[in-house]
Amino acid sequence: MRLTIIRDDNMVIVDGRALSVDLSGLPGNLHAVQWDGLAGHVEYNDGTPNEKLEDIAAWQSVVDAWEAVRQAEEAPQPGPTLEEAKAAKLAEIAKAHDAALAGLVALSNPAPTVVAVEAALLAVSDLEGLDYARQRLAEQQRDLAAAVMAAGAVEDVRAVAVGFLV
């Protein structure tokens, strides 16, 4: 194992992997520890001559702290809470609703300006049809939101399939 400890940077490097480790408990005059797997030395920042190392037993607690940080970084991250999953799914539903409405009134180009113009034209030419489509989309949005809010687990929230039919 190769080891580098740099006290002032709170940096420990083991076999090329650098991690931030709290090194405030090490002596204040310590600059660095270098170990190549067979030999090494300790460097100081106050003029104290470097010390040769023949093993790293004295630095094992630092290696252990590095290992704890590594394991924490590699641990699986917890999934979202139920409330976070619900909020994300409700945002997905709102976005899909808006996209469905935009697609309904501006089939060829869902750019905001085109949607506004096409919606105005549709309101003039087929207000009843536009109102019907809006109501259907709003009903579907409410039903999807109700399914999300009734979910008792994150998996149930994820199972709500978001889609709109007009």
Higher pLDDT among residues 110 and 24, named by residue: 24
Per-residue confidence (pLDDT) for residue 165, from 0 to 100: 80
Per-residue confidence (pLDDT) for residue 128, from 0 to 100: 78
pLDDT tens-digit readout, 72-119: 999 988 899 999 999 999 999 999 998 887 777 655 555 555 555 565
Whether residue 128 sits in one domain with residue 91: yes
Residue 42's DSSP bridge partners are: 33, 51
Q: Exposed, middle or buried: residue 60 (CB in 10 Å: 0-12, 13-18, 19+)?
A: exposed
Any domain includes 149? yes
Per-residue confidence (pLDDT) for residue 78, from 0 to 100: 87
Q: What is the Cα–Cα distance from 114 to 103, expressed in whole angstroms?
A: 10
User: Which of 46, 74, 102 finishes a domain?
Assistant: 74
Per-residue confidence (pLDDT) for residue 20, from 0 to 100: 97
- Of 16-30, 34-48, 119-133, the one with minimum mean pLDDT is 119-133
User: Which of 24, 42, 74 finishes a domain?
Assistant: 74
Question: Is the Cα torsion angle 114, 116, 117, 120 positive or negative in sign?
Answer: positive
pLDDT, the chain, mean: 89
Domain count, the chain: 2
Any domain includes 164? no
Whether residue 67 sits in one domain with residue 103: no
Per-residue confidence (pLDDT) for residue 127, from 0 to 100: 63
Domain span holding position 44: 3-74
Any domain includes 131? yes
Mean pLDDT on 108-135: 65
